[in-house]
């Protein structure tokens, strides 16, 4: 079995291990697609980082399954979330083959394209966030910054008949949000954000704010855009940056609540159904698609920054 490790300091290594143990009760899966997202990029670029096998989501073909739960050759999704609420699969999926507990393996309908499969965990995480927001139809939700998870959240908000407002400083990214059905956009580098939110909401301000911490630069003015009793949902926290400037006085005055979403536990099957029914479009969110041997060249592109799309590695292809 061959796999990549990210060692920090912009280092990626290909390792061959013929001695990897086949654990009892685990299935052997041939990986066909692996995800590369911002959490992997941070692991690649971070100084003096611990070596990891990247990729938290993958598509694969069952090679062997001792339990008989899956058939040889069956196409499956490999998640970081277990069906029984397990704490996470051991190691990443940027490999040619992997031995993994069937708890992390999910059946797939034929209608989902190979490249789209790696978005399922992101959709599941977004489903957990939507549930906790308890948003009602016609309520407005500010989404700060264009990213894979935020664009998925925006689509799910529209599916639940809520109104997302996307904020970013890049017209190209905001254009992608519009292409995916987001009607209200604000370019924070050109427009007064609180004024525009007030205009979009007829003075009521927004019911909630979604913040992807991986792409956040400043959230000081964002609580001003929320109505009394509004909610702030935090998602992703993979960067080395631990501190952000925020106005706590405004949070207290408006009695805002803050919560975080860690993963998509319990929502993977729902995410698969949403993707199969085309309630969420992910093909426009695909960035680079490269071969297994091209991982170093792909990561070199991100040594100075992150990505707002999902990058995919084609393994065994």
Q: Tell me the CATH number at 72.
A: 3.90.180.10
Say what the pLDDT of residue 242 is: 64
Dihedral sign of CA atoms 285, 6, 55, 141 in order: negative
Q: Is 59 in the same domain as 161? A: no
Say what the pLDDT of residue 244 is: 72
- Residue at 287 is within a domain: yes
Residues belonging to the chain: 317
The DSSP letter of residue 271 is H
Give mean pLDDT, residues 116-120: 99
Cβ count within 10 A of residue 212: 22
The strand pair at 163-168 and 184-187 is best described as parallel
Say what the pLDDT of residue 219 is: 78
- The residues, ordered by sequence, that sit 6+ positions from 68 with a Cβ below 8 Å of its Cβ are none
Cβ-in-10-Å burial (0-12, 13-18, 19+) of 173 comes to buried
Q: Is 129 in the same domain as 252? A: yes
Say what the pLDDT of residue 25 is: 75
The two structure tokens encoding residue 166: 């996307």
The two structure tokens encoding residue 205: 């301000």
pLDDT grade, residue 197 (50/70/90)?
very high
Q: Is 221 in the same domain as 291? A: no
The three-state secondary structure class of 144 is strand
- Domain with 89, as residue range(s), is 2-108+283-314
Q: Is 13 in the same domain as 78? A: yes
Specify whether the CB–CB gap between 241 and 267 falls below 8 A: no
Say what the pLDDT of residue 311 is: 98
- Structural domain tally of the chain? 2
Summarised one tens digit per residue, pLDDT across range 281-313 is 999 999 999 999 999 999 999 988 889 999 999
Of residues 91 and 119, more confidently modeled? 119
- String of DSSP letters for 40-97: HHHHHHSTTPPPB---S-EEEEEEE-TTSSS-TT-EEEE-SS-TT--S--SS-S-BSE
- String of DSSP letters for 96-114: SEEEEEGGGEEE--TTS-T
Q: Is 33 in the same domain as 135? A: no
pLDDT at 5 over 60: yes
Say what the pLDDT of residue 24 is: 65
The DSSP letter of residue 147 is -
- Residue at 223 is within a domain: yes
- Residue at 54 is within a domain: yes
Give mean pLDDT, residues 141-146: 97
Number of H helices, E strands in the chain: 8, 15
Summarised one tens digit per residue, pLDDT across range 233-269 is 999 988 766 667 788 888 999 999 999 999 999 999 9
Say what the pLDDT of residue 49 is: 78
Say what the pLDDT of residue 282 is: 98
Say what the pLDDT of residue 88 is: 57
pLDDT grade, residue 85 (50/70/90)?
low
Smallest CA-to-CA distance from 126 within 105, 104, 156 is with 156
Say what the pLDDT of residue 238 is: 80
- Residue at 18 is within a domain: yes
The three-state secondary structure class of 201 is coil
Q: Is 96 in the same domain as 127? A: no
CA triplet 46, 316, 236: central angle to 5 degrees?
30
Smallest CA-to-CA distance from 36 within 316, 264, 300, 268 is with 300
Say what the pLDDT of residue 138 is: 95
Q: Is 153 in the same domain as 54? A: no
Q: Is 246 in the same domain as 127? A: yes
Say what the pLDDT of residue 247 is: 80
Q: Is 131 in the same domain as 231? A: yes
Task: Give the up-direction half-sphere exposure of residue 119: CA atoms within 13 A in the CB hemisphere.
Answer: 32
Summarised one tens digit per residue, pLDDT across range 154-177 is 999 999 999 999 999 999 999 999
Q: Is 25 in the same domain as 131? A: no
- Residue at 156 is within a domain: yes
Q: Is 92 in the same domain as 129? A: no
- The residues, ordered by sequence, that sit 6+ positions from 216 with a Cβ below 8 Å of its Cβ are 144, 145, 244
- Residue at 115 is within a domain: no
- Residue at 16 is within a domain: yes
Cβ-in-10-Å burial (0-12, 13-18, 19+) of 296 comes to middle
Q: Is 102 in the same domain as 140? A: no
Per cent of the chain over pLDDT 90 is: 81
Give mean pLDDT, residues 104-131: 98
Per cent of the chain over pLDDT 70 is: 94
- Residue at 276 is within a domain: no
């Amino acid at each position: 079995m061959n796999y990549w490790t990210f060692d920090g300091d912009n280092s990626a290594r290909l390792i061959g291990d013929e001695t990897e143990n086949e654990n009892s009760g685990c299935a052997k899966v041939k990986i066909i697609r692996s995800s590369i997202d911002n959490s992997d990029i941070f692991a690649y670029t971070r100084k003096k980082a611990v070596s990891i096998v990247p990729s938290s989501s993958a598509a694969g073909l069952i090679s062997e399954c001792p339990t008989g739960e899956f058939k040889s050759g069956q196409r499956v999704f490999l998640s970081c979330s277990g069906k029984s609420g397990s704490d996470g699969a051991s190691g990443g999926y940027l490999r040619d083959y992997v031995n993994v507990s069937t708890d992390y393996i999910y059946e797939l309908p034929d209608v989902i394209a190979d490249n789209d499969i790696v978005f399922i965990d992101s959709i599941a995480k977004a489903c957990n966030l939507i549930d906790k927001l308890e948003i009602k139809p016609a309520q407005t939700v500010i989404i700060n910054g264009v990213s894979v998870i935020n664009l998925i959240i925006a689509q799910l908000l529209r599916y639940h008949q809520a109104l997302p407002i996307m904020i970013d400083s890049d017209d190209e990214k905001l254009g992608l949000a519009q292409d995916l059905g987001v009607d209200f956009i604000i370019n924070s580098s050109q427009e007064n954000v609180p004024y525009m939110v007030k205009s979009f909401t007829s003075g009521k301000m927004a019911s909630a704010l979604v913040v992807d911490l991986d792409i956040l630069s400043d959230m000081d003015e964002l609580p001003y855009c929320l109505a009394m009793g509004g909610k702030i949902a935090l998602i992703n926290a993979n960067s080395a940056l631990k501190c952000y400037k925020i106005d706590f006085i405004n949070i207290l005055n408006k009695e805002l609540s803050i919560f975080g979403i860690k993963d998509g536990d319990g929502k993977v099957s729902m995410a698969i159904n949403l993707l199969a029914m085309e309630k969420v479009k992910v093909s426009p969110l695909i960035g680079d698609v490269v071969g297994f041997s091209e991982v170093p060249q792909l990561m070199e592109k991100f040594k100075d920054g992150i990505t707002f799309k999902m990058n995919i590695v084609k393994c065994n292809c």
